[in-house]
Structure formats: C-alpha cells, structure tokens
Amino acid sequence: MTKQKILVLTEQFTNECPLFDPLRDAGYDVVVNETGRLPDEPTLKEMLSSGVVATIAGGEPYTPDVIASAKDLKMIARWGVGYDKVNVPAATEHGIPLAMAFGQNHESVAEYAHAMALSLACGIGRRDAMVHGGTWMFDGFHPGLWERTAGLIGLGRIGGAMARRLNGQSMRVLVYDPYVTEEQAEAAGVEKCDLDTLLAESDLISVHAPSTPETRHTLNAETFAKMKDGVIVINTSRGPLIDEAALVDAIKSGKVYGAGLDVFETEPLPADSPLRSCDNVILSPHVSGMDKMAEKRVTLRCVYNILAWLNGDPKELLPYVVNPETLKI
C-alpha cells in the first residue's frame, strides 16, 4: 500500500532532519524540498496533484487554482506566522485547515529587529568595514538609541517582544495599533497613539503588522515626510507594508538615517533594486525568525498540528488554525 505523503516545502531543511521523524513514525512518507528555493505556482500544482495529504508550507503560492487541484490535501501547516501567500477562503471552501505556528518564533524575530536597529544606531556595519579595510579613526558620533523614542507599528506577539527589548534600554515606546486597548498598552509598558504622533516623535520606527490591503504601503512618501529627520526604519514583518521607492528617496534625502529590511515587496530582492546601492541599509533574505530555537519550536508545532488533524484531537488545533470552521468541532 502506498504511503500518504507529506511535503516539507520550506527552503531550509533536508530529508535527514530528525524533526520530521514523528510524521515518519506515524506512517507517512515525508518528502523535503532540498532545492533551496520555493516552488512556483505551476510546480506546486503539480507536486500536490496526487497523494499529498499535508504540507509544511513556506512562502509558496496556495492560490485558488492550486488548492482546487490538490485533491488529497487535508491540511496546510505554515512554517511561521504569516499567511499572505495562502488564499484562506479557497482553503476554507475545500475544508482544508490552515494551521500556523503562533507563539513559537516571535522572540527570534524581535531579537533580529532589535539587532538591526542597534547595528544601525551604533554604526557597527560601517565601522567593521572601515577597520577591515585598514582604517582606524574616529568617524563621528553615532545616533544611539537609549533614552530616545521608538515607534512600533503593531503590538502583536512580535511587537510586544520588541517593546520589552526597547523598554530594557530605557526607550520611550509609542505604539500604533487599532486593535490594542489602552489597558493592553499600559500592561506592555508602551504608549498608544495615532500614526501621525508616532511618525512625528519616533527616532526609531519598527514595523510589526500583517500584510493586508489596508496595511499596504503604510510607510509611503506621505508618511516618510511626517517623520523626524534621521529616523531609523526597521521592517521584519512583510515587504508590502513599505513603499520601497519612497523609502529609497527618503534615504537619499537624509530623512531616513538608516534602514534594516528582512522583507521586501518582491522576494528574492531583484538584482536591480535601488536598495542594494543605498548606504547605511542592512538587507537580509527573510530569515529573521530562523534562529536555532525557532528551528525546533516552529517545526515541531507544524508536525504536531498535522498529527492532531490527521490522527488525533482536532480541538488541540484551535489556538493555531486561521479558519477554525474547517475543524467542525
């Protein structure tokens, strides 16, 4: 009898990874994407055409057409917390739960965002290059961050973890998040405010919001113009939240002192992107949530979500499923 197949489609694993052994022990044939790249839509459609009951998904496109053609697919377990590449209504229509790894790598992402901010504020990158290049000199005072003002766009798990780090270095932390109450803001040690106030008063702005039609280009030419001169901008959430052309203009004008970007409007970042030639910009290939702790925690959450749906108790999935109506419990 042919084993039911589970595909691991993220880019960072091999078939030898022992984290998938619980799936193998349960009798499934686990096939890991070892190409180092995500499948495009036609490739994904072909891969899911027969015998695949679940995927551990990366950022590949689960379009309505892909989902409709995946006749045996029973679950999409997303490696991470963003699901903008999955058409949730289509998955729901076909009774396919979209299970996330909520609560497993938010500290990793926040740590990465904080590291980017500190590196830019302390001039670490340029000074490292200077000394490696044979120069030893005082090159001016760096901006620093302690006792300055930070602005967070979004106060979910990642934004909250970032706020704790910023509070720890004596920063005033402003938050713009329409879904956060005054009580929640107070508990997090932050000040809730409107977007214009955050833009006008922040020395550091870090984006921690989902990608939706409403949040697209939250940072654009108009909002950059409202910022302080010399602001630092960090984005480890989703690329479409920032208008990259407007960001490049803001960097070149000096409005933005530096930017740390782990996500982009188009990924991989095109070779001709003007961001590649901007000074004082840290570019990173969408890896902020991928430290060693997250490797284990996120992967096992995906594995346990699949096993709970295919072999266990669907009620265990309630904290993780985006479309709980598919669970029918």
pLDDT tens for the chain, 329 residues: list them: 578 999 999 999 999 999 999 999 999 999 999 999 999 999 999 999 999 999 999 999 999 999 999 999 999 999 988 899 999 999 999 999 999 999 999 999 999 999 999 999 999 999 999 999 999 999 999 999 999 999 999 999 999 999 999 999 999 999 999 999 999 999 999 999 999 999 999 999 999 999 999 999 999 999 999 999 999 999 999 999 999 999 999 999 999 999 999 999 999 999 999 999 998 999 999 999 999 999 999 999 999 999 999 998 999 999 999 999 999 87
Q: Which helix (H) or strand (E) holds 281?
A: strand 281-283
For this structure, is 267 an active site residue? yes
Distance CA(285)–CA(268), nearest Å, equals: 7
The verdict on pTM exceeding 0.75 is yes
Note the pLDDT of residue 80.
Answer: 87
Nearest to 7 by CA among 34, 31, 35: 31
Q: Given 41, 46, 222, 267, which residue is catalytic?
A: 267
Q: Given 208, 238, 295, 301, which residue is catalytic?
A: 238
For this structure, is 297 an active site residue? no
Q: Which segments of 62-104 are extended strands (E)?
A: 75-78, 98-99
Note the pLDDT of residue 82.
Answer: 86
Lateral strand order in the sheet of 29-32:
29-32, 5-8, 52-57, 75-78, 98-99
Between helix 106-121 and helix 157-168 the angle, nearest 10°, is 40
Note the pLDDT of residue 247.
Answer: 98
> Are 137 and 130 within 8 A, CB to CB?
yes
List of domains in the chain: 5-103+291-326 (3.40.50.720), 106-283 (3.40.50.720)
Long-range Cβ pairs for the range 130-134 (8 Å, 24+): none
Tell me the two tokens of residue 163.
Answer: 């706020």
- Residue ranges of alpha helices (H) inside 133-243 are 157-168, 182-187, 195-201, 221-225
Note the pLDDT of residue 1.
Answer: 59
For this structure, is 157 an active site residue? no
Peptide bond into 268 cis (omega under 30): yes
Q: Which helix (H) or strand (E) holds 159?
A: helix 157-168
- Cα 153 to the center of its chain, rounded Å: 14
Q: Given 165, 208, 286, 301, which residue is catalytic?
A: 286
